Chain A
Amino acid sequence: MSDLIRQSAATLASAIAEGEVSAVDVAQAHLDRITAVDERVHAFLHVTAESAIAQAKAVDAKRASGDTLGPLAGVPLALKDILAMKGEPTTCGSKILEGWRPPYDATVVERLRANDIVILGKTNMDEFAMGSSTEHSAYGPTRNPWDLDRIPGGSGGGSAAALAAFEAPLAIGTDTGGSIRQPASVTGTVGTKPTYGAVSRYGLVALASSLDQAGPCARNVLDTALLHAAIAGHDPRDSTSINAAVPDVVAAARRADVRGMRIGIVKELSGDGYQSGVAQRFTEALAILEHLGAEIVEVSCPHFEYALGAYYLILPSEASSNLARFDGMRYGLRAGDDGQHSVEQVMALTREAGFGPEVKRRIMLGTYALSSGYYDAYYGSAQKVRTLIGRDFESAFDQVDVLVSPTCPTTAFKIGEKVDDPLAMYLNDVATIPINLAGNAAMSLPVGLAPEDGLPVGLQIIAPPMGDDRLYNVGAALEGALVDRIGHLFIEEAPAL
């Protein structure tokens, strides 16, 4: 099989299962690709080459002894560095965890291993997942393979870039306000934020516990569905994990049939003020969906205009608490312990040295929003807005089966363009945030390249909670139609590296 790195996950898996190619060859091809391009892309913080080859060998041995292999056995994967991988560095893009190796595996990692997926390494991210550009990583930014002077999105820019650079056919990201979907959108790849509670958070370093979800990323919808099925499902170690059967996302991706479906455009997210190429590709995609037999309807979610405000109160509040544990006492960085400083001082010096400016900003914002006297006006109010947004979604889903919007207002902006303007950065998430607040499922998939800059544009599909399969049905149908039209996935047009 030629050019292993350009194959889909499904194709690789079947080739490995058939014995056409060995898992070791597949793994090695991707490790070679990483060696060739990652100095420029910087998607990876840590490549676990040895263990990847060992995992691949084990798959080959399994196959040789006649064991049945799972649907993704031997397929390489890039793992966002926010998930605990036993014995391997897990930094969350921060200096405060430099060198820390967790003594345990996240449930997601356990499930990847159980599915014989080969983990190539840990990918770069905005520090503690706070950001929309991966510029806030303490280890330097990741670059968008479409244009190395541009951001790959964030916070999961590393995972998306790894896919777009063909360094891995699968990746795991996490999404708190769009950190899977927005990078997918600006890199021309596919990413899903599953229903809140669908994927275990045990081992996922928490940012905002009531918003975080780990999710599957790939270069096409079917691969994403296969990965989704591998990682989703109840985990008794996570109290917020849904105790119900995972919807059959793979069957839905294969069905790819939107005839008779009602698809809603959210009036408040329909592209006003968005980059013109983004709005254009979005409108064209709607026309395709109509052509495929869906009915497009406009719905209104009037409280969405408060979503950004609510989010930027809830997230920092929960994060300020979740990040308190990084105090230099039990693991990670300890600074200022000269034998004279008190423990209070050492904690403060450690956190000062270990956290970047965006993290500090949000910690203080969160501390403020929770403080006595301000709780009702800030955090308390934000929790109420959450209720209102949930109700908006409920009434929308009474009228339609899925909602759609452009994933984010622009294509990939230049590195450095927004990094000093926090508010401008926050506006990237305006379409993705409401979903996290309500706990719904959503996916971003590429629907074209913007005419003005040739950069990828993503469309977001939103489903009601537990309706993850609808994402894959609609996504696969749309993707199929687009591929029919131009003969290939948009990602194939990414410049050679």
Chain B
Amino acid sequence: MITRDEVAHLARLARLELTETELDHYAGQLDVILQSVARVSEVAGADVPPTSHPIPMQNVYRDDIARPSLPREDLAAGAPAWEDDRFRVPRILDEE
């Protein structure tokens, strides 16, 4: 049973500003989905290795050669806010 509080926590983690109605709505829907997918743990035994890549490949690299970057105008053109050759972002409350 996924609770409304848990949904609110998920929304915070995912940076989604949900409305009260949405919180209720999603809690119900997520619950139904989670119940139906929960069965996967039935067959997922300890002896079964997980697959993260469908086709086995490894050791793909590139040489350490620098190449031209994007023209700065391209970045500015798409930016919601731009100042002093940089992306302008709203005030940050917390030190990282």
Contact = CB atoms under 8 A, between A and B. Distances in A.
A195 interface: yes
Contacts of B1: none
B73 to A, nearest CB: 9
Contacts of A210: 52-54
A339 B77 CA distance: 21
B71 to A, nearest CB: 8
Contacts of A423: 32-33, 36
B39 A306 contact: yes
Contacts of B57: 197, 240, 242-243
Contact of B16 (A339, A360, A386): A360
A360 B26 CA distance: 9
Contacts of B41: 377-378, 381
Which of B38, B43, B55, B87 has its CB near the most chain A CB atoms (within 10 A)?
Answer: B55
B66 interface: no
Contacts, number: 186
A389 to B, nearest CB: 9
B68 interface: no
Nearest to B39: A309
Given A364-B30, A423-B32, A328 B17 contact: no
A394 B12 CA distance: 42
A363 B16 contact: yes
A487 interface: no
Contacts of A397: none
Nearest to A236: B62
Contacts of A384: 40, 43-45, 48-51
A288 to B, nearest CB: 31
B50 A330 contact: no
Which of the four size classes fits the interface of chain B? 35 or more
Contacts of A382: 37, 40, 44
A474 interface: no
Main secondary structure of the interface of A (DSSP, over half): helix
B90 A341 contact: yes
Interface in B22-76: 22, 26, 29-30, 32-34, 36-45, 48-55, 57, 60, 62, 70-71, 74-75
B14 A320 contact: yes
Nearest to B2: A368
Nearest to A438: B54
A465 B40 contact: no
Contacts of A313: 37, 40
Given A240-B57, A242-B57, A365-B33, A310 B14 contact: no
Nearest to A389: B51
B52 to A, nearest CB: 6
B40 A306 contact: yes
15 contacts: A101-B78, A197-B54, A310-B40, A328-B80, A343-B92, A346-B90, A351-B14, A364-B30, A368-B6, A368-B30, A383-B52, A422-B33, A436-B54, A438-B54, A439-B54
Given A103-B70, A331-B79, A384-B51, 13 more contacts: A195-B55, A329-B80, A330-B87, A331-B78, A337-B90, A343-B93, A360-B26, A363-B14, A364-B7, A364-B30, A365-B34, A381-B41, A388-B43
Interface of B: 2, 6-7, 10-11, 13-18, 22, 26, 29-30, 32-34, 36-45, 48-55, 57, 60, 62, 70-71, 74-75, 77-81, 87, 89-93
Those 5 A-B pairs whose CB atoms lie nearest each other, nearest first: A439-B54, A383-B50, A381-B44, A103-B74, A334-B80
